[in-house]
Each structure stands twice: as structure tokens, then as C-alpha cells.
Amino acid sequence: MCGVVGYIGSKEAAPILIDGLQRLEYRGYDSAGIAVLSGGKISSSKEVGRLANLEKMLAAEPVKGTRGIGHTRWATHGAPSQINSHPHFSSDRAVAVVHNGIIENYAELREELTAKGYKFISQTDTEVVPHLIQQALKDGAKSPVEAILTTLKRLRGAYALGILFRDEPDAIYCARKGSPLIIGLGEKENFIASDVPAIINRIKKAIYLNDGEMAVLREDSVEICTMDGKKVVPEIKEIKFQAEAAECAGFETFMLKEIHEQPRILRAMLDKHVSAEGKIDIGSSLSPDYFRKLNRIMIVSCGTAYHAGMYGKLLLENLTGIAVETDLASEFRYRDPKIDPGTLIIPVSQSGETADTLASIRMAKEWGCKVFAICNVEGSSVVRESDSVFFTNCGPEIGVASTKAYTAQQMAFALFALYVAGVRGNLTPDQVKDYLADLQEVPDAVHYVIQKKDEIKAISEKHHDGPSSLYLGRKFNYPTALEGALKNKEISYQHAEGYAAGEMKHGPIALINDALPVICICTKTSDEVYEKMLSNIKEVEARSGRIIAVATEGDTEIAKLAGDIIYVPEVRDEFTPMVNVVGLQLLAYYAARARGTDIDKPRNLAKSVTVE
């Protein structure tokens, strides 16, 4: 959601803050601002819209100083406006604050502070924080740390805070609960950021703040304590990403770059987790015996990761015989699921900071369940709170619409399902090797689809102008239909609906006419699903729908029905979703380009949903 950055060192802070905020644009925002401390004064600049607007303001009216904080705001409380933009100040302008999260009890705190004479100029929940810090100092807090800790104890909700004090020129402060925040360690300079990509070009080491911790950053030191004031010895992590991983590297957008990275990432996952002898290593601390006795799995996730979880459910049930459920983390945490301690919880998250997924993990831990996460970001909250983790190792995914993280999550599920099926005896060692041989074909098949991007582009340009589209799939490719529709609506803003093809006659068929593109995922299968899909396509044809098929290379039958076809190589049924979805990613990509949208930063969306 919102992005937070901070800097203390010997360099001018403003350019560093702006650079960091630019690298956080993928998180989504509607306004931006910075505050810089110099000469006993905190100067700030704030502007609505893209960062370019703020840069223009700073070019006309520079702010000087070597310590500062910055923010990109994704509106929750109060409309996008200059007044509601961060940083926010105490009434005496001695304290400046930037904040990612939601202060749930802000209304009662605001009422209390108003009664004490504090004037609020914004509609935000954040503005209570600098006023509370000011009040704590008035009430006798002996230091900024004491004032901050006093304030944090009053707050309910989630926050990642960056704080400047006018009268403390040698330090910047930060605190974290529920929203991600890292501390970047430099040479005679230090940083704070919501995510590693913001400062990846400036650091080699970082500290991932834990919930309930605050820190004091000086040029040459970092001190961390808990909410009770107890000192913490931090764990310093090496940053494994290269700075180039967060650059476009010659591609017109990050999304297009990330689509092209998928064959390499999938191949790297296979190389890492499958030995030359055909043994699968999922890197789990859970024993083979645990999986032999396991009788239930619950997969919880949000958005694109939920579609990966649906695919995982189908694979696991098909290969292992274990009962598997999937649920949206945002729903799972509010219902009363009947979960016993013997259930394995599998959270799936690219960022490792999705608020609802984290809440689901914490519920599961309270029930005594083991948690096996599928995640991309080492050091993230999901990773730290899980018993075991399968890392997808995609590198930074900057485009808001997930591509490479999705197919990597699918590959993780494929390897996990084969491993569990092997240790449980559902598959013999030779059968596992046969599956792995077929899985090894997937990266090349994905590369083949990407090479057909010009053909896919032509199809997108032919059909992008309609108000809506329908995506149909069955069995393993029902989640693919959902994901294809999601990609389209995310970046092209065309309404798109994904449906199980067998449900078409239960409502969606009423929408079909000669203006509606219907994307049918109809790759050949070893069972009757392919023939069922052909029947669905004929029903669309009978109603003059504009049929776009994803079909197996060499399929002549489909050519008799579909006006446009995205051909993909033949791979094993269970693994077709990893290949088929890439065609749909490109279809959405070129539709968005034809419609002139902001592909990497689509409106209203944020890469990581770190608040409810």
C-alpha cells in the first residue's frame, strides 16, 4: 500500500528520498511528500498525483538537508489531496511523521486531542500520531524514544512509521506493527524503507524490523528496542537481490520484463529442488513422517496467490489423496473454520506481508497447526511466522500485476505435491520421475509461448475495445481462467469474468453476443475435459461470441470453431496451467497497451495489500 522511506547520512536527503519513492511506485499511490531536517527546521513538500509532480515542485523550491523521510500515499482515510498527503506534523511542527497502515482507534484519539486544543488540518488517521508524540513530551517524556513508546501504546491497528524531530538533528526514528519496514545499513549512512527495492541500489545489508519494535537511526549506528524499551540485538541479513533486478533492463515495462523472466525462474526452481537422481528437496523442516500422517491441508491466500492455491488444491488432491481446502485469507480469518491441530496450513504470498494472510497464519498457530508457506521474500513476516517455507526465489516483482510470482507459486505446488505423493507412497519413485520429466518441459514451453507475443498482440488489438470479456476453463485450467480474467481487469480496466466452463449455462451464457470476447482454455487432455470444452465453445459459437482459444499446437479441431487461437506446446495435463497462463498474461498486457493504461502502476491498485 503506502510507501515509506527515510535517510540519514552526509548526502542531500531529497534526491535519495525521491529515488526511493520512485522504486516504491509499484506499491500504488495517489500523492507523495517528503520532509527534510536542516538548520533547526523541518521543511516539507507534498503533491497530489505522480511523483513527477513532486519533483517539479522540488525543482522550483528545493529542500536542503541530510536527513529526511518520504511517503507515497494510497488513500484510506480522506480523499487524495495535498492536505491529506504525508508527512503530517505536530501543531508546533517539531515532529513530522510518515505512516503506512491504519490506526483503527484514530477517531477516539482525535476526539481526545481536539478536547485538549489540538487542531487537525487533515482527514487522515495518521495525524493523531505527531500530536500524541507532542503531548507525550508535554507530559514529561524525557526523550523522543520515551515519547514514541508512550504513543505506540495508545495506538490500535497497523503501522510502519518514520519520524523526524526538529530538535534531534542527529537521528531519525521508526517503528513497526503489522506493516512491513526494513532498515538498510550503509557506510556512515542508514535508511528505512517499506521494501528492499526502494534502497536496493544503496545497501548490501538490512535489518527486518519485527512487530512491536522501534529503532533509532544515526549516521553510524542503529539501536532497536521493544515496546517495553528492552534493547534488541538485531539479525542483520545480506541482501541477495542485485540492483539490476529492480530495473527494466531494456524492456518497455517491468511487467513485460517479468513475463520474459518466467522460463529462467522456473528452470532455476527445478535445478534447485530436483537432483540428478530425481529426488525432490522442498527445503522443509517438517519430516517425511509428518506428511505420511497428514490428512488435511488448508491453503489460504489472496488475489493471484489464491488462484495459485486453487491450482495447488487440484494437484494435491489428484496426486496425494489428501483432503485440501482453499480459502481467501480475507474470509478465512472472519469465519469459524473447523480446524484441528493436525491440519497443515499453507499460506501463499509473493510479498510475505499481505495483512489478511498474516492474520490467518496467526490464527492457525493459535490452533496448534503447522504452517508451510510459499513465499518469495526472505525476511518477510510470512517467512518469519511460518514453521517451514518454500521460497520461490523470483527476485523483486515490481509490476503490480503478478506474473512471474504466479507461475513460480504454481511450480512450487507442483514440486510440493510430487514430493508429498512420493513420501506417502501415492506415487512410486518411477512415477515421480515420469512426472518430473514432464515438468522439466514446462520452462521451454513457456519460452515458446513468449516467442509468439506478436501473434498474441495482434489478437489483443483486435478485441481490446469491448466493455467486457469472459474467460472459461475446466479442472486444472479453471484457476487459469480466473487468473487470466484478473490480469485483464487489473491492467486494461476491461471488465473480465472468469468462470468454470461447466457453469456457463448457469448464467454467463446470457451475456454472449457478437461483441463479447470469450477466451476458452482448451488444451488437449487425457480425459473428457477437452471434449467438454469443445462443447462449450460450440455453445459460444452458436451465440456469435468472439472466440479466442488457448489450444495445443497442432489441434485442427479447434481451428474450425475459434476465430483466434493462441497455440501452446503440448505438456502433461497437470502442468498446462503454467504454460497456458503466460498466453493470457500477454493477451492482457497488449490489451492494456492498446487501451493506453499505466501497465506497471494501474489505478487504485497496490502491489502489497498490507492493511485490511
Catalytic residues: 2, 607
β-partners of residue 72 are: 3, 32
> Identity (one letter) of the amino acid at 590?
Y
Q: 3-state DSSP call for residue 321?
A: coil
Rounded distance, CA 494 to CA 592, Å?
9
CA 105, distance to chain mean position in Å, is 27
> Identity (one letter) of the amino acid at 526?
S
Length of the chain: 612
Rounded distance, CA 313 to CA 301, Å?
12
Rounded distance, CA 492 to CA 197, Å?
25
C-alpha cell at 173: 526514528
**DSSP secondary structure, 37-101, as one string:** EETTEEEEEEEESSHHHHHHHHHHS----SEEEEEEE--SSS-S-TTTSSPEE-TTS-EEEEEEE
Rounded distance, CA 333 to CA 306, Å?
15
Q: Cβ-count burial of 285 within 10 angstroms (0-12 exposed, 13-18 middle, 19+ buried)?
A: exposed
Cα radius of gyration rounded to whole Å, the chain: 25
Rounded distance, CA 490 to CA 62, Å?
36
Rounded distance, CA 103 to CA 86, Å?
15
Grid cell 507412497 in the structure block, residue: 425
Neighbours of 560 (CB within 10 A): 10
Rounded distance, CA 177 to CA 187, Å?
27
C-alpha cell at 423: 513420501
Q: Cβ-count burial of 241 within 10 angstroms (0-12 exposed, 13-18 middle, 19+ buried)?
A: middle
Grid cell 485538549 in the structure block, residue: 116
Cis upstream peptide for 87 (omega within 30°): yes
β-partners of residue 101 are: 159
Provide the pairing of β-strand 205-208 with 3-8.
unpaired
